[in-house]
Each structure stands twice: as C-alpha cells, then as structure tokens.
Amino acid sequence: MTGRKLHQIHGLRRRWLLSSVVPVLLLLFAGVLLLSAGFASYYYSAVRTGLESKAKTATEAFGSYGMKSYGEYYRMAASMAETFEDKDRVELQFIAGNGIVQVSSYGLTAGTSPGTPDVTGAIESGEMAHFHGADPRTGETIFSVSSPMLYNGRVVGVLRYVTSMRAVTHQLTINVITAVAVAAGILALVFGANIIFINSVVEPVAGVTAAAKRIAGGSYGVQVENRYRDELGELVDNINEMSMKISQTEKMQQEFISSVSHELRTPLTAITGWSETLMGDVGGDGAQLRRGLGIIMRETRRLSGMVEELLDFSKMQDGRFNLHVDTVDLQAEFEDAIYTYRELFSQEGIEVEYEFSDELIEPVTADAERLKQVFSNVFDNAAKHGGSGGRIEASIAREDEYIAVRIRDHGPGIPPQELPFVKQKFYKGSSKARGSGIGLAVCEEIIERHGGTFDIENAEGGGTVVTIRIPTDE
C-alpha cells in the first residue's frame, strides 16, 4: 500500500475519532465542571446554613436572659465558650463593638481583631453577615458568620462562629478527583470501543483499497477474502465480482484480438495468393480465372462484413449507433434473406426449410437494413455452428403484439454452461468456428433498439433456436 493510501486510512481513523471522541470529551468536561460546582455549592451552603443556625440560636439565647451589666455578659460568654461542644471544629467568639475579640472558645484569639468584613458588616448594619476567604492573620481559608447582639436596639457586640475550610476543601478535592477519574474511565472506554470499531472498518477498507489498486494495475481477477456479513461484506462481494468481470472482459478482449487477427489474416492470405496466381497465369484457362475471382470476391465480402461488425460495435460503444426507421414489410425482408441463403447453403449441403404463414403480417416501423443484418448474421451462425445437422428451419408468425421470427439449426447446440454468455461481446466459448465474437451482441443491440427481444436457446431434440420478436405498430 502506498504512503498516500496509508495517509488516507490514517485520516479516516483520525476523522472518526475526532467526530466521536471529542464530543464525548467535551460533554464529560462540562459534566465534571458542573458536578464540581454542584459539590462546592452544596458544601459551602451546608457550612453557611449550619453556622448561621448556630449563630441565630446563640444570639436569641443571649437576648432572652435580659442581662443588666457587662460582668454578667462576660461571665455568660465565658461559660458558653467554655462549654461549647463543637470547639474542635468551630471557634466561637464574642466580639466587642470596637471589633476586638473578648472571649473565644479557642482561647488564643482573645484580644485580637479578626479583621474580616463580616464583623464590620454585622456591627454597622445590625444584620447577620458572613465571610468566606483567607484569614488576614493566618492566611488559612475560613468561613465565618457574625450575628449582632442588641441591647436597647443598639449593637453592643457580635457573636461570631469561625470554621476552617480545610476539611471541606479536602472532601471537595476528593469528590472532584473521583468525578475526573470516572470521566477518564468513561472516555477511555469510549476511546477503546471506537478504536476497536474503526479498526474493524479500516482493516477491510485497507484490504479493499489494496485489491482495487492491484486491479487498477492490471491484476484482474484478484479476490478479497470476505469475512464480513454487513455492508463491508457487500462491498467486498461487489469488488470481487467487479474483479472477475474485468478479468473475463480482459480475457474475451484478448481472445477477440487473437480471433480477429486470425480472421483477417486468412482471407487476406487467400486474396493475396489468388491475386499472385492470376497475375502469373496471364492467358490461362477461364475456369481457373473464374474460380480465383470467386474466392477473392467471397473473401472480400467476408472482410467487409467483419469491418462492418467492428464499425457497428464501435458505434455501440460510443453511442453513435442509430436506426433509420421506415415502414417495412418484415415478412418480405425475411423471405428475401431465406431465398438468398437457401441457394448459398445448398452448395454446402445444408437445406433451408421455410414455414410459410397464411396469416397476414402487417408492416412494422423498423430499419430494414439493420434487420437484414440481423437475419444474415443469424443464418451465418446457423450454418457455421449447426451446419452438421444438414438442415435449418425458418418461420415467421404473429404472436400477440409481436411478430416472431425463428431460425433453428439441427447441430450439436450450445453447452448449457455457455448459453448465458453467448450474446456477450467478444465471447466465443468453446466454439472453434470463425468469427469476431461480436455479431450476436450487435444483433441484440439492433433488436432492442426496435423495442423487441433477441433470445437464443437450445431446442428440444437438439440444435439451437434463435427467436427474434419485433413489436407491431398496433
């Protein structure tokens, strides 16, 4: 296989993978992004909701006591921070109105300023505020909720819950990695399945391509092993059939060239020989002269007939084969051919029997010269291939909307395995009779151009029968 063909095969694989894997990759990428965003939203929402719920409950608890002094507030805040159950995960802070931590469940942050906007927001607005970001002091990612504590309608402090997002980030990372791993597994599965599938397509295509290249290079008859029962199998069958038909056509063309060369050489040799003989026998007897001239005329006519067949075949091939139709008395034309060949065949010991029809056969629209050509060709074949039977039968009759002409010989007939191919151009089969092998193909073309049929069969009792049907004008 050439580099170009390999490139085409690789291009087919690449286009297939791009058209099938890339959309899946994009879908998986979008799915992982959406899933990651969903995980993040879920975890952050859960943290925020939990901290806001704690802050709201604690703030309401403080407000229900109706504290009257700072000492009482401080003792209650210290007690609450000391007994805070979630201190290992969440830090509870009590912050004064100036933003300084007064009490903390963690202990080490007391006296410091958080410096996050949720504290300032709660003090200034009197509404609960939250913050998600880096701690200004430690740089650690945190989530905090600040709830204002009111006394006589005035913000006197802030209750703040703070939690590290390290565990949440860790869990979120695990979930995202899991999603990416699942997506990668799905992508690998899709990619592998597509590779297997495209290879199952590319390999036979490559084989067919190689076979087609060999056929184009002249290796007619090459067959591709067919291991498929789908469209690829049908393609392989068509390639194999094409290869066989090309091989058969090539063989017939070679036989045709050989046959035509032989057919041309034989009469030309006879003409040349007799011409030289007659030229060297000036003043000889008249019998020999007439004999020589007769042979020259007969061989010349045969050469003319072969040339006419070749010209007709050439016209058939390039679409220049036309009919010149007129009203024709088909019975009269057929009888003229019979009378012509009856005298000719009688010299060879072949009797022509004509079955006359009493039924009036009306004229038809046809090309008289072309029909004469068909009749002449069929009679010649009957004499060449069936002359050993000593008899040729001819008939004409009206059959429904057709006029049927039949010519039958009583020779050995056509081998059954060759019968389907006898009308193919160049085909001669096992026959050793002289001829170009295109006469019957030309005859069939002429009759089909008239809208009729040209059939060749083995007759009952031996011999071959040719049936020509020409449609009537009714």
* Domain 248-315 indexed as CATH 1.10.3720.10: no
pTM, rounded to two decimals: 0.48
pLDDT at residue 109 greater than cutoff 60: yes
Q: Are 345 and 383 in contact (CB under 8 A)?
A: yes
Higher pLDDT, 179 or 442: 179
Each residue of 451-474: pLDDT tens digit? Answer: 999 999 998 888 999 999 999 986
Burial class of residue 300 (count of CB atoms within 10 Å of its CB; 0-12, 13-18, 19+)? middle
pLDDT at residue 257 greater than cutoff 80: no
| pLDDT above 90 coverage of the chain, percent | 24
Strand partners, 409: 392
CB atoms within 10 A of CB 68: 9
Question: Of 204, 209, 200, whose CA–CA distance to 3 is shortest?
Answer: 209
Q: Which CATH class is domain 326-471?
A: alpha beta
Look up tokens 């995202």; give the residue: 176
What topology is assigned to 67-164 in CATH? Beta-Lactamase (3.30.450)
Q: Specify the pLDDT at position 5.
A: 45
| pLDDT above 70 coverage of the chain, percent | 84
DSSP line for 389-432: GSEEEEEEEEETTEEEEEEEE-S----TTTGGGTTSTT--TT--
Each residue of 301-330: pLDDT tens digit? Answer: 767 766 776 776 666 666 666 778 899 999
pLDDT at residue 252 greater than cutoff 50: yes
User: How is the chain split into domains, by residue range?
Assistant: 1-65+169-219, 67-164, 248-315, 326-471
Each residue of 354-390: pLDDT tens digit? Answer: 987 777 888 999 999 889 989 988 998 898 888 777 8
pLDDT at residue 405 greater than cutoff 90: yes
3-state DSSP assignment of residue 247:
helix
